Amino acid sequence: MHELAERIQQKDLRALARGITWMENDHPDKLQLLSDLYATRKNAHYIGITGSPGAGKSSLVNRMIAYLRKQDLTVAVIAVDPTSPFSGGALLGDRVRMNEHFTDPGVYIRSMATRGSLGGLSRATKDSLRVCDAFGFDVILVETVGVGQSELDIMKIVDTTAVVLTPNSGDVLQIFKAGIMEIADLFVVNKADLPGVRKLKTQLEEFLLISHSNDWYPPIVETVSTENKGMEQFWQHLKEHEHFLHDTAQGDKRRKQQFVYEVYDVIREELWQSVKHFIESDSDKIKSITHAEEDPYSTAKHLLTQWKLKGGHDR
């Protein structure tokens, strides 16, 4: 077993931080470390918190951390921020909102960038969950950048997905067009002290009646995160869904699907990195792209053919 893996399992915080940095920087030993950690995973409850910008996700997560700590549960938070198109970094706004927990040894908070991932989560984010699991956290919260038609990766890596909505936030039909009905295990109506809660809940219930097809019926919970209201009910519903997954064939099916997703995701990432390295390590190949006279499709096909002829060299 890798020395860093042993230190992570011994709850060494420095090792945890280094392990996640390895994921972000694509360290050469990354896959070996993940393999070692996976064999001794602790099976934390992975919870995804997603929703449109301005729904109060960060405040909700902040309150949930406090509630879970009162239950004597340890918590890791992976807060996913949009990637800057200029610096490639994340704004780290969520860490600012959760600063009251920084000195708590039972809480670990890490902001990560999407890094342009079309699914809303970078490969490094998904791998970091495994590192936090092996460390031994009871609950891992993943707050995503928001829900769009391509930002549905969260459902592929967490056990329970909570979609956060707010009253009078716009046409609810646009929300359902984004595919939320397919990923939500429960709905959180946050800012429930505002007018329009009843209308929003009615719309949600009507859509669920029309489109719901699984054995699990997503509950709707009201919260006011600024006033610390609704946290107990929120947690109860999360635990009910966790028990449902453990006790039913649907949970087993989801775990198998997620395993397949992860295998394909790792293969896709490794192939992409290999091709990228093959091109960028040769100035002539870079010139063939920047000064290409052909269309981009022919250029890409030509470079892929060259890569295959070289045997798809490792990085």
Any domain includes 241: yes
Any domain includes 62: yes
Q: Which helix (H) or strand (E) element contains residue 107?
A: strand 107-113
Residue ending a domain, among 247, 272, 292, is 247
Q: Which helix (H) or strand (E) element contains residue 121?
A: none
Residue 271 has pLDDT above 50, yes or no: yes
Measured in degrees and rounded to the nearest 5, phi and psi for residue 196 equal 100, 5
Specify the number of domains making up the chain. 2
Residue ending a domain, among 221, 247, 273, is 247
Residue 179 has pLDDT above 70, yes or no: no
Question: Does 138 lie in the same domain as 272?
Answer: no
Q: Quickly state the pLDDT bin for 68 (edges 50, 70, 90).
A: very high
Question: Does 240 lie in the same domain as 268?
Answer: no
Question: Does 147 lie in the same domain as 235?
Answer: yes
Any domain includes 22: no
Kindly report, residue by residue over 215-241, the tens digit of the pLDDT.
888 999 999 998 999 999 999 999 999
Residue 183 has pLDDT above 50, yes or no: yes
Question: Does 278 lie in the same domain as 135?
Answer: no
Residues of the domain holding 217: 37-247
For range 186-210, the mean pLDDT: 89
Q: Quickly state the pLDDT bin for 26 (edges 50, 70, 90).
A: confident
Question: Does 216 lie in the same domain as 278?
Answer: no
> Is 0.95 topped by the overall pTM?
no
Question: Does 270 lie in the same domain as 184?
Answer: no
Q: Quickly state the pLDDT bin for 146 (edges 50, 70, 90).
A: low
DSSP for 142-210, written as a single string: EE-S---TT--GGGGT-SEEEEEE-TTSS-HHHHHHTTHHHH-SEEEE-STTSTTHHHHHHHHHHHHHH
What CATH number did the domain enclosing 183 receive? Answer: 3.40.50.300
Kindly report, residue by residue over 243-255, the tens digit of the pLDDT.
999 998 888 888 8
